[in-house]
Amino acid sequence: MENPEERAWRAEFPITERLLYLNNCSLTPLHRRSEAALAEYARTWSELGGRAWFDHWLGVLEEVRAGFAHVLGADAEEIALEPAVSAALVTAASTFDYARRPKVVIADIDFPTDGHTWLALASRGVEVEFVRSPDRINVPLELFERAVDERTALVCTGHVYYTSGAIQDVRGLAEICHRKGAALVVDAYQSIGALEFDVHDSGVDFLVGGTLKWLMGGPGMAFLYARKDRIAAARPTALGWWAMENPFDFDVQHLDLAGNARRFEYGTPAIAAAYTARAGLALLDEVGIATVRGRHMTLSQRLVDGAHEQGWTVRCPTDARRRTPIVTLEHPDPSVAVASLRQNGVICDYRPGLIRLSPHYFNTLGEMDRALGFLAQLRVAPAIV
Ligand SMILES: Cc1ncc(COP(=O)(O)O)c(C=O)c1O
């Protein structure tokens, strides 16, 4: 049975009344605060039209920027608001000089965008080298150490790998990169909001994330963190008028870049997304990342232990301290398995060869046991040879 705290958490997420939702590392479902925030956004737009920019919306954007900074332990000056992580990576990538250092190092288990951003720069001389994950779960630091050399401009990799939930040692990686004169760009989409993290302490140069997942703010709002000492010298070529010091001067003839991380921004942001992002950040702040982390460890460990008992091959770190709540199970036909789970009201996802389950703090141990009950019927016994 749910305890009172769980009941209050679940009351925020209407989906929990109907479905056993285990796809939070893809998209956390809509909660009541974001729903109310959308109504509030519509009201300001309807009542004020363009005046809403100055009476409300510009202020909301600054609150979102401050919220991202708070979660990261960054200064608001170091945060650019972005429409997607992919756009954030493109503007960061546009600041490097690849003439002397053309090489970019990425892991072969990174999210596709982390590779595409630099593969698209091949015509400008960028050479991408993929570090191979030996177990498809994580990448040992020694492999990055071997790949980074005097021709390397940067490493771009995940803080948490999206199919395995494995946590990368980004501090160790920053030390390797900087010792060799390279930069570190981190894709923190799968870690931000799920792990306590101090971006200054990590030493990373650029870091990207957004609100789809553990920040619980829905699609349309992302960020780029740029370490303070990298901002003044950065000359992004992927930008727009919101990157100017005073965008509302409407000066088409001069490029007067903002003195802070706003210089990495593009054009008019999606304000509906800013409202839901602000609501998600506020909810996370109230629950607390430490509480979320504790729940993730407890709930996902129940799934891992139960899956082991049923004989599944688990493709994520089995120790909860080394992963987020992403639990992946090998299956020869995961799309069929996931469709069958969906018919039983269990929402999860698949990646090639894997069923991927990701509980969040509002899920319960009872739900993990129910999901395991359905999984038991889907396990395919290995062929006897
Ligand atoms: C690690 C990681 N990076 C990037 C993305 C996608 O970012 P966007 O669609 O905002 O570009 C995702 C998930 O959607 C992800 O898991």
* Atom 7 of ligand 1: nearest residue by CA position: 85
Q: 214 C-alpha vs ligand 1 centroid, how far in Å?
A: 12
Q: How far apart are CA 351 and CA 285, in angstroms?
A: 31
User: Does the structure show a pLDDT above 90 at 381?
Assistant: no
Six token digits for residue 77? 């000056």
Show the ligand 1 pocket: residues with CB < 6 angstroms: 84-86, 111, 113, 158, 162, 187, 189-190, 210, 212, 222
pLDDT one-digit tens code per residue, 43-55: 999 999 999 999 9
248 Cα: distance to centroid of ligand 1 (angstroms): 31
- Structural domains in the chain, CATH included, are 4-29+289-376 (3.90.1150.10), 38-284 (3.40.640.10)
Q: What is the pLDDT of residue 380?
A: 77
The mean per-residue pLDDT over the stretch 208-213 comes to 98
Can you give the pLDDT at residue 363?
A: 98
User: How many angstroms is it from 326 CA to the middle of ligand 1?
Assistant: 15
Predicted confidence band at 2 (pLDDT cuts at 50, 70, 90)? confident
Q: 385: pLDDT confidence band, cut at 50, 70 and 90?
A: low
The closest alpha carbon to 307, from 335, 337, 336, belongs to 337
Q: Give the separation between CA 154 and CA 297, rounded to whole angstroms.
A: 32
Q: How far is the CA of 162 from the centre of ligand 1 (A)?
A: 9
Contact call for residues 177 and 184 (beta carbons, < 8 A): yes
Does the pLDDT at position 211 exceed 90? yes
Burial of residue 76 (number of CB atoms within 10 Å: 0-12, 13-18, 19+): middle
Q: How far apart are CA 383 and CA 148, in angstroms?
A: 41
Q: Position 187: which residue type? A: D
Mean pLDDT of the 305-313 span:
97
> Stretch 3-23: mean pLDDT, rounded?
97
Q: Span 6-13, mean pLDDT?
A: 97
Assign 105 to helix, strand or coil: strand
Atom of ligand 1 nearest to the CA of 219: 10
- pTM score, whole prediction: 0.97
Overall average pLDDT of the 218-228 stretch: 98
Mean pLDDT, rounded, for 109-137? 97
Q: Please tell me the distance between residue 383's alpha carbon and the centre of ligand 1 in angstroms.
A: 36
> DSSP alpha helices (H): ranges in 135-234?
141-147, 170-179, 199-202, 228-231
How many Å apart are CA 249 and CA 287, to the nearest integer? 41
The pLDDT of residue 216 is 98
At 320-370, the pLDDT tens digits run 999 999 999 999 999 999 999 999 999 999 999 999 999 999 999 999 999
Q: Write out the two tokens for 211.
A: 């609100």
pLDDT value for 383: 58
Q: Phi first, then psi: what are they for 345, rounded to 5°? A: 85, 10
Give the torsion sign (CA, 229, 172, 119, 125).
Answer: positive
Beta strands 327-330; 346-347: pairing state: unpaired
Is pLDDT of 126 > 80?
yes
Which of the four pLDDT bands, split at 50, 70 and 90, describes residue 384? low
Helix, strand or coil for residue 153?
strand
Q: Mean pLDDT of all residues in the chain?
A: 97
Q: Express each pLDDT in 64-104 by its tens digit.
A: 999 999 999 999 999 999 999 999 999 999 999 999 999 99
pLDDT at 382 over 90: no
